[in-house]
Amino acid sequence: GAGVSQTPSNKVTEKGKYVELRCDPISGHTALYWYRQSLGQGPEFLIYFQGTGAADDSGLPNDRFFAVRPEGSVSTLKIQRTERGDSAVYLCASSLGTTHADTQYFGPGTRLTVL
Amino acid sequence: LAKTTQPISMDSYEGQEVNITCSHNNIATNDYITWYQQFPSQGPRFIIQGYKTKVTNEVASLFIPADRKSSTLSLPRVSLSDTAVYYCLVGDTAFSSNTGKLIFGQGTTLQVKP
C-alpha cells in the first residue's frame, strides 16, 4: 500500500520567506509526527498530532513554526520568516495511534534550503 | 528522558554478522527498545522492537539482558545494502506526556565492505 508521502521533495527559498511543507500520512493513521534532521544528526521531534489536534508541540523551536492537520489526515508544516538555520530535512511520520509503541512510518522527507 | 549511547561508526564485510550494542542505563519500566535504520535521502525505517529477552524477525534479532540497561541489534550475514545509519531508541520516559514521540541519538553508521 501507499506509504507516507511528502511534498515537495526539495524546497529552496530565500531568507525571510514563508514556506509550507506537506505530509500525506498512511490512510487510517491517526497519529502524525513532524521531525527535523540536520546533517549528521538524528531526527529531532517537532510536533505530534492525534487526529486533528496538536497533542504535543513542545519540539517546535519558536513561534515561526506552526503546523496544522485540519481534517485529521494531511498535515502542513508552516515556517514564517525563514532563517538559514532552518535548513534541514523535514520528516513526517504516521502511526496507528493506538499505543505509544506503535510503529512510526516515515516519509522520504522534504529538504529545505534557506539561502 | 532515557538517553542512549551507541558507537558512532562500525565497519564490516559482506557475509559477516554485525552486532551493534546500545547502552540505556536510565531506561524506565514502561520503555520499549526500538531500532530504526536510515538510508541516505530516506526517512528512518523500523527494524525491530523489544521489551526484554530476545526478539527475532526476518531482518534482525534484538538481545536485551535482564537489567535492560543495554541492548544488542544483530544483523546476520550483512550485504552491501545494509550500509546505513542504525538508531537505538527507548520510549520517552515522560509517558505522562502521552505522545510516543521518538528521541533519536546520533546513531551508528554501519559501512559494509565487499
User: Tens of pLDDT along B43-81?
Assistant: 999 999 899 999 999 999 999 999 999 999 999 999 999
In B, minimum Cα distance to A105 occurs at B45
Q: Looking at residue B87, which CATH number applies to its domain? A: 2.60.40.10
User: Tens of pLDDT along A10-26?
Assistant: 999 999 999 999 999 99
Residue B111 · residue B7 · CB < 8 Å: no
* Residue B2 counted as domain residue: no
What integer best gives the mean pLDDT of chain A? 94
Domain that holds residue B104: 9-113
* Residue B88 counted as domain residue: yes
- Chain B residues whose CB is inside 8 A of the A44 CB are 104
Q: Domain residues of chain A, as ranges? A: 5-98
- Chain A residues whose CB is inside 8 A of the B87 CB are 42
Given CATH 3.20.20.70, say whether it is the number of domain A5-98: no
* Residue B44 counted as domain residue: yes
How many CB atoms neighbour CB A50 within 10 A? 17
